[in-house]
Amino acid sequence: MSERKLFAHELAEILDAFLFASPSHRSIERLAEMLEALPRRQQEFVLRSARGAAKTNTEIAYLIATLSLDALGRLDEKAFQDWVISGLDVFDKKGLRAAVETLRDIDGFLALREGRLHASFAEVEQRLARFVLGLSGRPLALKPGAYPWTDTETIFLPERLAHFATAEENRSFYQGLAVQLWAQTRYGTFNVDLEAALAHWPEREQALTWLAHLEAVRLEACVARELPGLGALLAGLRDAWPAPLQPAIAELQAADADITCTLRWLAHFMAESAVPPAPTFVGRLEPRSAGRVRAERIQRDTETLKKAIGALKGAGGTRKAAPNEFSAELNRETGALEVRVDGEAVKLPDEAQAAAQSLMQDLGQVPPEALSPAGDAPWTPDDRTRTNEPEAINLSSTRPPDFRYDEWDYHRNAYRRGWCHVYVTDVKPGEGHFVRDTKLRYAPFIHQLKRRFEAVRGEDRILGRQPDGEEVDLDALVEAVNDRRSGAEPSPRLFCRRVRNERSLAAMFMIDMSGSTKGWVNDAEREALVMLCEALEKLGDAYAIYGFSGWTRTRCDIYRIKGFADAYDDAVRARIDGIEAKDYTRMGVAIRHLSHLLGRQPARHKLLVTLSDGRPDDFGDEYRGTYGVEDTRRALQEAREQGIRSYCITIDRQGADYLRHMMGPASYTVLDDVKKLPLKVADIYRKLTA
C-alpha cells in the first residue's frame, strides 16, 4: 500500500461507489475533505470499515465515516471495530435510529469498555415515575428504550447510562433527560406538524439533529423560567452550548419563543448546509410517533369531555336543558373547567377534568367542540368506540414472535443479534386422501423398506469370552483345552452371549415448504414422508418432521408436522396431507431452531435431514446468493458443535455448485429427477443410520 495520502477527489470517488444509495450522498464532498486529513493507513481503515457497514445500511456507513476522526482520536483500531459492530448489532435489533444514537454515543461506548460506574433504568424508574407525574399533571409512563425520546404519553430512557464517572451523576443524568423530554410535551414542541416541516429537506437525520438541539435550548429556558431549580439541573448536566448554536440562543431563550421560532432557525441552518453539533445531552425527536399518539389522545380527551358534559346537560331530570341554560368555561386561575346547568355550578367527574387539563397541555386551550354536549346518554370513563376488525392472517401482526435467532452476516464477519423472528404453528390438516393413496400406490416399496428397516433393528452383536451365556465360545474352549494340556490355568470365560444392538438415535426432518416446491416437488416430498414414516415405525427411532418457509427475517415460519413426542397417528397423517407450498427459503434460521429442538433429545446420535428443491432464498436481494449460503453454512457449523450430523437431499441440479461449500463433502445428495425422491429418502436414511 502506498504511503501517499488519498486526496479529496480520490476519496469522493471511492465513497461514491458504496454510498450512492445513502440519503446523505450529496454531502460526500465534505466527508471526503474531512478524511483527506488522515494518514493513508487510517484512510484505508475507515474506508474498509465503512464499506463493510454499507452492505448492511448506507446511512450507518456514512455516519461511521463522518464520526471516524473523533472515534480514531479516542479508540484504537480494535476498539474502533468493536464500536462499529456494536452499532450494527443495535441496528439489527432496534433499527436505524437506535443504531445512530449508539454510534454517536462514543462516550457511552468507552464507559462500558472501561467499566465506568453506570446507573440503570431499573434503579431510578420508580422515583422518576413519581417525579414525572408531579411535573406533568397527567399520566406519563416511563419505559426503557434504545435512546431518550417521548411519544407524548411515554418517556423512553436508555437501560443504563455511563456518561459520567459516578453512578450518582448518571442518576442525575436520568432525571435531566426526563425533564427535557417532559418539557417537549409541556411547552409545545409537537404543536405544529413537524413531519411537514421536515419534508422540505432530504437530509432528514441532519434536520432532526438540528431540531433536537434548537429545541433543547428553547425548552431549557422555558423550564428555568417556571422551575428554576430544574433549569439549573439541566444547565449543570450539559457543557457549554456548541458554537454553531450561538447565533440562535438569544432568540430561542426569549419568553415569547415557541416551536415556530425553532423552525425558523432550523431553516436557516439547513439552508447553509451547516453540520449539526454532536449530540451530548439532547433527547431524540420522533415526530411521526409523537404526532400519531398526540392526535389519538386529543380525540379521546375531546370525546370524554363531550360525553361528560352531555350527561350533565340532562342532569336536571327527564327535562332536557335548553342550549342557553348550559355553559362551560375554563377558569384560567385554577385551571379547572367550570360547568353550569340552569345557572347552577355542576361538578364534572374527575376523568373529565383530567381530559380538560390534558387538552390544555396539548392545545393551550379547551377547543369549543369539546364543550359541546355529545347527547344525554349515560357516560362512563370506560366508554370506548370498539371496532370489529377481521382477524389478520399474518402471524407477525397478531402476536409477538415465539423465538428470535441470530443470523450470520459474512459481510461484517459477525452475527446480527436477535435478527430473525420465528413463528411456530401446526400445519393445517388435510383430508387424508393423499396419504391413503400414497400407501396404496407404493405398497410394495413400503413393504420392502419395512423389511430392510426391521433387519437393521434386528441386528444383534455376539459378545465372546463371557463367564456365562447361551452358547459355548468354541475359540475360547480350544484355548482353554490347550492351556490345560500345557499345565497353565485355563480361563473360565468360555461362553458367548447375544446382545441386542440398542439404537440411540433421534432424527429431525426439515421440509422445504417454499413457493418453488408447488406442484410435483410438494407431492414428492409428501410421498417421501409417508414412505419414511411407515418404515421408521418399524425401526423405532425417535423422529420429528417440521416444515419451514417465511417472508423476510421478520416472519420465519416453522410448521410442526410431527414432534418427537407425537405418535404417527391420523393427526400426523392429516398434517402430512396438508403440507403445501408457502413463501421463501430462509434456511439458516430454520436450521438453528430445529437444531435447538433436536439438541434437547436424550439420544446419543442426532441427525438433521433437509429435503429441499434449491438454495437458500428470501424476499429481496439481501439473503439471496452468497449471504444466504454463508448463513446456512454457519448454522450447520453450529449444529455440528452441538453433536448434530446434517445431510441434505435436493433436486436442484445446480446444487453441486454450492452444496459442497455449504454442507461439506459427503453430506448431500443431488437427485436429477423429482420422481426419485420418495424412493431415495428412506433408503438414504437407512444407510446414514446403519
441 to each of 76, 576, 577, how far by Cα in Å? 69, 16, 15
Nearest partner of 142 among 121, 115, 120, 119, judged by Cα: 121
pLDDT digits (tens, 9 = 90+) for 456-465: 554 556 778 8
- Give the range with max mean pLDDT: 24-33, 420-429, 511-520, 644-653: 420-429
Contact 53, 412 (CB under 8 A): yes
Q: Percentage of residues in the chain with pLDDT exceeding 90?
A: 23
pLDDT digits (tens, 9 = 90+) for 396-416: 445 788 999 999 988 888 888
| SS3 label, residue 338 | strand
Whether 49 is in a domain gets the answer: yes
According to DSSP, the residues that pair with 338 across neighbouring strands are 329
Both 124 and 192 in a single domain?
Answer: yes
Both 590 and 631 in a single domain?
Answer: yes
Higher per-residue confidence, 369 vs 67: 67
456 grid coordinates: 437393521
* pLDDT confidence bin for 25, thresholds 50/70/90: low
pLDDT of 158 strictly over 50: yes
Mean pLDDT along residues 434-454: 80
Mean pLDDT along residues 255-270: 91
Both 488 and 514 in a single domain?
Answer: no
Distance CA 340, CA 344 (A): 5
Contact 352, 304 (CB under 8 A): yes
Both 618 and 517 in a single domain?
Answer: yes
Both 309 and 178 in a single domain?
Answer: no
pLDDT of 418 strictly over 70: yes
Distance CA 432, CA 579 (A): 11
625 grid coordinates: 446468493
* pLDDT confidence bin for 558, thresholds 50/70/90: very high
Mean pLDDT along residues 225-248: 88
Structural domain that includes position 318 = 291-371
- 344-353 in b/e form (b: 16+ CB < 10 A) is eebebbebbb
Both 253 and 226 in a single domain?
Answer: yes
DSSP element (H, E) containing 461: strand 460-466
Both 177 and 261 in a single domain?
Answer: yes
Higher per-residue confidence, 281 vs 198: 198
Lookup result for grid cell 445446480: 654
Both 100 and 229 in a single domain?
Answer: no
The neighbour count for residue 250, using CB atoms within 10 Å, is 10
Beta-sheet pairing, 403-409 with 542-550: unpaired
- pLDDT at res. 198: 86
Distance CA 22, CA 16 (A): 10
- pLDDT at res. 387: 36
pLDDT digits (tens, 9 = 90+) for 587-623: 999 999 999 999 999 888 899 998 887 778 887 657 8
pLDDT of 473 strictly over 70: yes
| Among candidate residues 68, 99, 114, the one where a domain is terminated | 114
- pLDDT at res. 316: 41
Whether 424 is in a domain gets the answer: no
According to DSSP, the residues that pair with 500 across neighbouring strands are 460
Distance CA 201, CA 267 (A): 9
- pLDDT at res. 320: 43
pLDDT of 375 strictly over 50: no
Taking CA 253 as the corner, what is the angle to CA 252 and CA 258, rounded to the nearest 5 degrees?
55
Nearest partner of 531 among 646, 686, 379, judged by Cα: 686
DSSP element (H, E) containing 132: helix 121-136
Both 533 and 641 in a single domain?
Answer: yes
pLDDT of 393 strictly over 70: no
Whether 380 is in a domain gets the answer: no
* Segment among 346-355, 374-383, 482-491, 547-556 with least mean pLDDT: 374-383
Both 71 and 34 in a single domain?
Answer: yes
User: What's the number of domains the chain is made of?
Assistant: 5
Mean pLDDT along residues 273-279: 75
pLDDT of 211 strictly over 50: yes
CA atoms within 13 Å, Cβ hemisphere of 183 = 28
* pLDDT confidence bin for 44, thresholds 50/70/90: very high
Mean pLDDT along residues 14-39: 78
pLDDT digits (tens, 9 = 90+) for 522-547: 788 888 888 888 888 877 788 999 99
| Among candidate residues 356, 371, 386, the one where a domain is terminated | 371
Lookup result for grid cell 456507513: 61
pLDDT of 119 strictly over 70: yes
Whether 345 is in a domain gets the answer: yes
Mean pLDDT along residues 307-327: 53
Beta-sheet pairing, 160-161 with 460-466: unpaired
pLDDT of 384 strictly over 50: no
* pLDDT confidence bin for 378, thresholds 50/70/90: very low
- Give the range with max mean pLDDT: 445-454, 505-514, 530-539: 505-514
Whether 447 is in a domain gets the answer: yes
Distance CA 66, CA 100 (A): 12
The neighbour count for residue 426, using CB atoms within 10 Å, is 12
Both 81 and 134 in a single domain?
Answer: no
The per-residue DSSP string of 371-432 comes to GS---SS---TT------PPPPS-HHHHS--SEEEEEEETTTTEEEEEEEEEEEEEPPP--S
Distance of CA 103 to the CA centre of its chain: 19
Whether 203 is in a domain gets the answer: yes
* pLDDT confidence bin for 80, thresholds 50/70/90: very high
Whether 56 is in a domain gets the answer: yes
616 to each of 408, 431, 584, 622, 674, how far by Cα in Å? 13, 31, 8, 11, 18
- Kindly tell me the burial class for residue 369, based on how many C-beta atoms sit within 10 Å of its own C-beta (0-12, 13-18, 19 or more): exposed
pLDDT of 325 strictly over 60: no
- 562-587 in b/e form (b: 16+ CB < 10 A) is bebeeeeeeebbbbbbbbbbbbbbbb
Whether 420 is in a domain gets the answer: no
* Segment among 285-294, 325-334, 376-385, 513-522 with least mean pLDDT: 376-385
* pLDDT confidence bin for 673, thresholds 50/70/90: low
- pLDDT at res. 392: 34
| Among candidate residues 62, 83, 114, the one where a domain is terminated | 114
Round the average pLDDT of the chain to a whole number and report it. 81
* Segment among 83-87, 202-206, 421-425 with least mean pLDDT: 202-206
Residues 6+ apart with CB under 8 A from 622: none
- pLDDT at res. 339: 67
The per-residue DSSP string of 676-690 comes to GHHHHHHHHHHHHH-
Both 208 and 326 in a single domain?
Answer: no
Q: Percentage of residues in the chain with pLDDT exceeding 70?
A: 83
CATH number for position 528: 3.40.50.410
Total residues belonging to the chain: 690
pLDDT of 215 strictly over 50: yes
Distance CA 85, CA 83 (A): 5
* pLDDT confidence bin for 48, thresholds 50/70/90: very high
- Give the range with max mean pLDDT: 328-337, 410-419, 496-505: 410-419
Mean pLDDT along residues 421-431: 90
pLDDT of 265 strictly over 70: yes
| SS3 label, residue 361 | helix
Higher per-residue confidence, 657 vs 84: 84
